[in-house]
């Protein structure tokens, strides 16, 4: 029996690749940068399955050139860069890896809170640059995180994971979200607030909303002006949820105490970005989900989805279930699928 052809658009852990190779002919793009468009198109044109990383754009041009394509397995949670409607029209199943990043991303948001409040990045630079000569009573005086007030904007999975952590630090916890969550309020002693009241009250404002038309520039000049001059803004959601220019001004003029960003607008942040001149900013390169355990779990789930589909069975994390009746018909004809 012939084997399905799989193209993986980035680096997967060895074990995940091995389990694919057991039943498929696999080509994996083994480079830190994503494959150039012509490589993606060439590989797609002869593949039955694509496993895609963050940046590969799977649009109508790719689907049009890929008559054999039956499965696109996205190696991340939220759908990005894949034209789902076109996939459905062409009878291609699209899968993702949901619900894996929550705790790891909340860890990073909490780490950014601690790093900004306690000058961890500046302290590290200070030591490395050879400036540490004596113990100084006033050196890098930061702010306490324990006992402070956390304002969570967007009480979804990561927002709740932040509330869970905040309890351990004895923090008062406010939240603003589209709707109230009475169960989480009871469980984590959360107080619901309007966005304005949260901004006025919180010592740390942590953003956990998705990027949508409504949340684009949710935190701009007006919102930053509501925050206390001693407060910190933490953003692990998406860069454009914050107005970058307004944030730069607020940080430069000391209108807020600092910011911790794992996401920026634009991304990557160019080296000449004025933000990088600021000492009251800690920035990480979109590594919210970057723990090895979580990245391995994402890879395993993406591969498990693809393997299930290649066996002709419905993959558990199918994003376009309305394609399934047509897809099953196609799969019965695929020489490598066993049929459901």
The least distance separating ligand NAP from the CB of residue 321, rounded to whole angstroms, comes to 19
Closest by CA position to 139, among listed 111, 118, 153, 159: 118
The backbone torsions φ and ψ at residue 176, rounded to the nearest 5 degrees and listed phi first, read -130, 130
The backbone torsions φ and ψ at residue 158, rounded to the nearest 5 degrees and listed phi first, read -75, -40
- Indicate whether 156 belongs to the interface with ligand NAP (CB under 6 A): yes
Q: What is the dihedral of CA 324, 330, 336, 340, to 10 degrees?
A: 40
- Compare residues 212 and 230 and give the one whose CB is closer to ligand NAP: 212
The least distance separating ligand NAP from the CB of residue 160, rounded to whole angstroms, comes to 8
- Relative to beta strand 172-176, strand 5-8 is unpaired
Give yes or no for a cis peptide into 266 (omega within 30° of 0).
yes
The residue count for binding ligand NAP (CB under 6 A) is 28
- Compare residues 50 and 261 and give the one whose CB is closer to ligand NAP: 261
Stretch that binds ligand NAP, among 2-10, 282-290, 302-310, 324-332 (CB under 6 A): 282-290
Q: How many residues does the chain have?
A: 340
Q: Using CB under 6 A, which residues numbered 13 to 72 contact ligand NAP?
A: none
Q: What is the CA radius of gyration of the chain?
A: 23
Catalytic (active site) residue 253: no
- Compare residues 237 and 305 and give the one whose CB is closer to ligand NAP: 237
d(CA 221, CA 39): 43
Check: CB of residue 63 under 8 Å from CB of residue 57: no
Q: Using CB under 6 A, which residues numbered 110 to 139 contact ligand NAP?
A: none
Place of tokens 């307004």: 246
- Compare residues 117 and 158 and give the one whose CB is closer to ligand NAP: 158
- Indicate whether 159 belongs to the interface with ligand NAP (CB under 6 A): yes
Rounded-to-5 percentages of helix, strand, coil across the chain: 40, 15, 45
Check 15, 21, 267, 340 and give the catalytic one. Answer: 267
Q: Which two three-digit tokens encode residue 235?
A: 């953003």
- Compare residues 22 and 54 and give the one whose CB is closer to ligand NAP: 54
Among 289, 294, 305, 317, binds ligand NAP (CB under 6 A): 289
SS3 119: coil
- Compare residues 40 and 263 and give the one whose CB is closer to ligand NAP: 263
Q: Binding marks (x or -) toward ligand NAP, 171..210, rule CB under 6 A?
A: ------xxx----------------------------xxx
- Indicate whether 142 belongs to the interface with ligand NAP (CB under 6 A): no
The backbone torsions φ and ψ at residue 242, rounded to the nearest 5 degrees and listed phi first, read -115, 140
Catalytic (active site) residue 216: no
Among 11, 42, 143, 157, binds ligand NAP (CB under 6 A): 157
Check: CB of residue 217 under 8 Å from CB of residue 243: yes
Question: By the criterion CB under 6 A, which residues form the site for ligand NAP?
Answer: 78, 101-102, 105, 154-159, 177-179, 208-212, 214-215, 236-238, 262-263, 286, 288-289
Residues taking part in catalysis: 238, 267, 286
């Amino acid at each position: 029996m012939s084997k399905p052809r799989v193209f993986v658009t980035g680096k997967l852990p060895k074990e995940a690749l091995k389990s694919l190779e057991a039943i498929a002919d696999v080509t994996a793009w083994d480079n830190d940068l994503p494959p150039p468009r012509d490589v993606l198109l060439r590989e797609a044109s002869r593949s039955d399955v694509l496993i895609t990383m963050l940046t590969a754009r799977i649009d109508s041009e790719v689907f049009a050139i890929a008559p054999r394509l039956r499965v696109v397995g996205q190696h991340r949670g939220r759908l990005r860069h894949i034209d789902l409607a076109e996939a459905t029209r062409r009878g291609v199943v699209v899968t993702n890896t949901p619900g894996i990043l929550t705790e790891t991303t909340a860890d990073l948001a909490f780490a950014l809170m601690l790093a900004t409040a306690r000058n961890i990045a500046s302290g590290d630079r200070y030591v490395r640059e050879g400036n540490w000569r004596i113990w100084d009573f006033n050196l890098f005086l930061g702010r306490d995180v324990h006992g402070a007030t956390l304002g969570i904007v967007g009480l979804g999975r990561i927002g709740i994971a932040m509330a869970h952590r905040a309890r351990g630090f004895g923090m008062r916890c406010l939240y603003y979200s589209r709707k109230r969550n009475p169960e989480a309020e009871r469980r984590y002693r959360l107080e619901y607030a309007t966005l304005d009241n949260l901004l006025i009250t919180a010592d740390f404002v942590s953003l956990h909303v998705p990027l949508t038309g409504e949340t684009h520039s949710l935190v701009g000049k007006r919102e930053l002006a509501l925050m206390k001059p001693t407060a910190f803004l933490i953003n692990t959601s998406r860069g454009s949820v914050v107005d970058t220019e307004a944030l730069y001004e607020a940080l430069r003029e000391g209108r807020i105490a600092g910011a911790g960003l794992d996401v920026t607008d634009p991304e990557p942040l160019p080296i000449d970005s004025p933000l990088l001149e600021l000492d009251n900013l800690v920035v990480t390169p979109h590594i919210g989900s970057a723990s090895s355990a979580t990245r391995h779990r994402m890879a395993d789930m993406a591969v498990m989805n693809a393997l299930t589909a290649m066996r002709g069975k419905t993959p558990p994390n199918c994003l376009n279930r309305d394609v399934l009746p047509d897809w099953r018909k196609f799969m019965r004809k695929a020489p490598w699928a066993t049929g459901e």
